[in-house]
Structures are given as C-alpha cells and as structure tokens.
Amino acid sequence: PARADLHKDSATGGVEALLKDGRADNAGQPGKFTPAAKAQWQQGLQAGRWRTVPQMQAWLQQAHGVKLALSSLYNKLGKAGARLRVPRPSHVQKNPAAAAEFRDTLPAKLTALDLPPDRPVRLWVQDEMRYGLHGFTRRVWGLPGHRPVAPTQQVYQWGYVYGAVGVGLTRTQFLLAETVDQAHELKFYQQVGRSDPGALHVLIQDGAGFHLRDGDTRLPDNVRIVTLPAYSPELNPVEGLWDQLKDTLCNRVFERLADLEAV
C-alpha cells in the first residue's frame, strides 16, 4: 500500500509531492511550555525572581499549570544561558527613572559645564571605600568532598580609601584617610587637580553629604563636579574597582591597618 501511495503522489503531484514530508501536516501535541509561560519565565530570570530550580518549577505549575520535570527545567536553563548570579543590592528609595535619565542626559550635562575650549579636560569617576580589620569571606574554587577554610576575625578598626579613575586615561589617584568628611574630600579634590594643573578635571560622583557640589567656592579652580542620582551606585564604574580590591583582601586577616594598607 505504501508503494502504491508513492506512485499515486508522483503521478498527481510530481516530484514535489513525492518529496513532501507528511509529518509536516501533523503538528503533534502542543508543548507544555506555552509562549505566555516562556515569556514570563524569561522576565522572571531577568529580574532574579527564583533562587532555586524547585521554586521555579512550583511557580510554573501554580501560575501556568505547567508541570515540568526538574531535568527539563535544567535543560531549558542551559539553552537560555542562565547562570546562578549574586544580585546587586538596590536601595528601596532608588528612582529607576532618574537613573535612566542620567544615562541619557550625561552628554548634555557635560556640555552644560561650559568648559573653556582652550584647555584639556580630564574626566574622572570617583568614590570612597571603607576597609578594615574585620575579616570577610568570598567564594573560592575547591574540590568535591573538601570545603575550603578561610581565617576571619572580628576587629572593628577602619580606614577609608578615596579613589578616582580617569575615563579613557591610564591614570588613578588615591588617598588613604581615617575618616570621610568634607575636609578630607577637599584634600582629595586638590590632589586630583594638582595631578595635571593645566587641565580641567571633571569628577563624576554620588551625592553623599560630605561631597562638594559643582560651583562650591571651596573647590579648586580646575575641578568641576557632576553628581549622580541618589541610590544609583551602578552608574559609577569605579564601583567595579572596589569589587576587584575586595577580591584581594578577602579570606585573609591583618594584624594592623598598616599591613592591610600595604597590600
């Protein structure tokens, strides 16, 4: 019978009918993972909604009536390129609209500074980080069946590092101090200004209370300020530098602040 059908197809529809895959007319049973469920699942992954795959599995069943085995979910996560990631903390009072606006209007803000065209301009991102003798741990690579051990201590003695990184420049400025206040901040502004006295220095910084604002008469003549929106540290690239620094200081103990500062 199958051979007869082939002869019939070739006689009535030619080679095209002969080569046609009959399975194309049978879409089969619709998949459990509906387009709506998939779209919301992807949105949830972007928002970091689930910490474990069983939580994700329970949500799919409750919200969409989709029952998927854990193995199927792991497979889908792998195809989507999903990975376990540590969320970045975000202050509850952060204004996402203000952060987005800052990204869009930064060129206009820099233009509005009305800098003289006959002087070079150095653009910096700057911030401060607290460091201390109170130990902290971070993840390390290890072997199965063996849990690494890292020393730690509870000693409440602190110092602060003021730092500025040049945007597009291979230059940095740092100041170690015992506290953060306007006096030390002004000292740091002066240090940045002296690093290239003939240039104008524009510092992008957050709105901390001890930071001076643009136009403050105490600022050096060659230093200008652009202030970030409140509670938006992700807009300041220097935050990544502090994270790299902590990768070096973690899982260690120091007897004195001077030892830590040397590292």
Looking at per-residue confidence, does 84 or 11 come out higher? 84
Q: Are 121 and 198 in contact (CB under 8 A)?
A: no
Residue 165 and residue 174: Cα distance in Å, rounded?
A: 9
Task: Note the pLDDT tens digit of each residue in 151-206.
Answer: 999 999 999 999 999 999 889 999 999 999 999 999 999 999 999 999 999 999 99
Residue 19 and residue 57: Cα distance in Å, rounded?
A: 42
Q: How far is CA 218 from CA 54, 141, 182, 212, in A?
A: 57, 49, 10, 8
Look at residue 87 in the predicted model and tell me its pLDDT: 84
Q: Residue 210: CB partners within 8 Å, gap ≥ 6?
A: 180, 181, 182, 184, 185
Of 99, 82, 78, the closest CA to residue 43 belongs to: 82
Torsion of CA 101, 97, 207, 200, to 10 degrees: -10
33 residue type, one letter: F
User: To 10 degrees, what angle do helices 35-47 and 53-64 make?
Assistant: 140
Q: Are 224 and 214 in contact (CB under 8 A)?
A: yes
At residue 81's C-alpha, the angle toward residues 142 and 63, to 5°, is 110
**Backbone Cα Rg of the chain:** 30
Q: What is the pTM of this model?
A: 0.73
Task: Note the pLDDT tens digit of each residue in 62-113.
Answer: 999 999 999 999 999 999 999 888 788 888 999 999 999 999 999 999 999 9
**Residue 56 pLDDT greater than 70, yes or no:** yes
Q: Which residues is 173 bridged to in the sheet? A: 164
Percent of the chain surpassing pLDDT 90: 78
Q: Residue 80: CB partners within 8 Å, gap ≥ 6?
A: 42, 45
